[in-house]
A and B are shown apart, each in its own frame.
Chain A
């Protein structure tokens, strides 16, 4: 018997990170029927860390971040957010879950509500804010994403980039501690990608803990502290962007990078 092969590139841990671990994943396994999507995934995310997840389609990157806010439920393994198991039905677990914001590839705005109502619904009904407080907060974040002037419009009256910025503002209105992004720019026309990435860069500057599934490698270089490369349901590489892009360890990451960085 040989020792189990560690696929993640070894990184000498010279100075241990003092920041608090906010997401702690241990031996996570997830199946879709017979398809084994996540295989023994281990991951620690520290407060304020900005992580980009990439990898070929079907590699499990979206599933992994969807497990973090329990849109998907893993069959095996532990997943703690702020030391809390979100599978519990306690008030504390619900509270922690409500502090995880998520932005989807297809925006998923509520089409029958105005931009403002999209942003105030959850703060009012989950956080118990008054309409006035919720609207103030909504306008603050809509202003941050540069879209306050469209507050009265319906989502269908906005461009894709504008809709995605509203979706980001909507998530921020819950004052999340962690933000998850599932391919936030993949459904956008090329000329609208930049406006959404700009918002993400600004958000990263505020110290938000971010996990972002994306193929925007320029964004990864600029913003990420760590790039995770997934394939076949496993984290194959876990490295700072410079190391990952300039010196990928695995053949699969090399092949992947060769394909997307023409």
Chain B
């Protein structure tokens, strides 16, 4: 086997020409899916963490129950429950004017991913908020800082340094777990991979997918390193 043949074994120019553009689209869909649901999940997760740490027993219980459910059941099951389960109540959603939302696989997937990652991120935020020394709250109180100033200027920046590592982990897990979106008709990276493979029966398609996932994760890893250095610049 010469070099050209070897190359064609992994990157066949014909296949690349035929499916390359689709892969770019799939890559963008995966990126968008993860970026949106991870960001919304972070906001929801922070609220859940605050609810769990609050003095209000009802809020604590609700938040704990939410986290218990969404961490305890498979993401795939949650996605199907939303898309096929809630999606089957067509007339109800039409009545409340939400059918446009539950009709679309894209929205259902975004919702399922957001709800799922929020539960994990809530636990990350809770731990990182608890890691901030009690003396910091006392100093803020002694200076009569408002609760919002205390949280956003004093507590949150310090807790993010602790949270950034586990949050990065969660983001990477999300990127890979997002492949299950392909099971509800989304043409994300895995969706286009399955499509291309079902037409070409060439295993190298899966190799491309693996390399592209690796590429996203590598970009994320490098960005995280950068953010971590910035957040922790006072520690050097």
**Contact assessment for B234 and A111 in the assembled complex, using a CB-CB cutoff below 8 Å:** yes
Contact (Cβ within 8 A) B142 A102: yes
Cβ 8 A contact of A101, one of B142, B146, B231: B142
B144 contact from A112, A113, A174, Cβ within 8 A: A174
Report Cα–Cα, A162/B158, bound state, in Å. Answer: 22
Q: With contacts A97-B144, A111-B234, A112-B158 known, is A125 near B135, CB below 8 A?
A: no
Q: Are B234 and A104 in contact (CB under 8 A)?
A: no
Of residues 34 to 86 in A, which have CB atoms within 8 Å of B's CB atoms? Answer: 69-71
**For chain A, which range describes its interface: under 10, 10 to 19, 20 to 34, or 35 or more residues?**
20 to 34
Residues of A within 8 A of B231 (CB): 112
Q: How many pairs, one residue from A and one from B, have CB atoms within 8 Å of each other in the complex?
A: 63
> What is the bound-complex CA distance between A101 and B144, given in angstroms?
9
Asked if A110 is an interface residue, CB under 8 A from chain B, the answer is yes
Please determine whether B135 and A108 come into contact, CB atoms closer than 8 angstroms. Answer: yes
Q: Is the CB of B142 within 8 A of A69?
A: yes
B166 within 8 A of A: no
Size band of the interface chain B makes with A: 20 to 34
Q: Is the CB of A174 within 8 A of B143?
A: yes
Contact across chains for B149 and A125 when beta carbons are under 8 A apart: yes
Tell me if A168 counts as interface (CB < 8 A to partner B).
no
Contact A125 B146 (CB under 8 A): yes
Shortest beta-carbon distance, B234 to chain A, in Å? Answer: 4
Does B90 reach chain A (CB closer than 8 Å)? no
Question: Which residues in B have their C-beta under 8 angstroms from that of A174?
Answer: 143-144
Nearest residue (CB) in A for B153 is A121
Bound complex: CA of A170 vs CA of B157, how far in Å?
Answer: 20
A122 vs B144: C-alpha distance when bound (angstroms): 7
Known: A125-B149, A154-B234, A156-B235. A110 touches B144 (CB 8 A): no
Interface residues of A: mostly helix, strand, loop or mixed?
Answer: loop
Q: Is A109 an interface residue (CB 8 A)?
A: yes
Residues of chain B in range 130-189 having any CB-CB distance to chain A below 8 Å: 133, 135-136, 138-139, 141-146, 149, 153-154, 157-158, 161
User: Chain B 199-236, CB within 8 Å of chain A: the 1/0 string?
Assistant: 00000000000000000000000000000000101110
Tell me the bound Cα distance from A155 to B135 in angstroms: 15
| B interface list, Cβ under 8 A from A | 133, 135-136, 138-139, 141-146, 149, 153-154, 157-158, 161, 231, 233-235
Known contacts A108-B133, A126-B143; 5 further A-B pairs (Cβ under 8 A): A102-B142, A104-B135, A112-B157, A121-B154, A126-B144
A-B contact pairs, 29 of them (CB 8 A): A70-B141, A71-B142, A94-B144, A97-B144, A101-B142, A104-B138, A104-B142, A108-B139, A109-B139, A110-B158, A111-B235, A112-B157, A112-B161, A113-B234, A121-B145, A121-B153, A121-B154, A122-B144, A125-B146, A125-B149, A126-B143, A126-B145, A126-B146, A154-B233, A154-B234, A155-B234, A171-B142, A171-B143, A174-B143
Residues of A within 8 A of B (CB): 69-71, 94, 97-98, 100-102, 104, 106, 108-113, 121-122, 125-126, 154-156, 170-171, 174
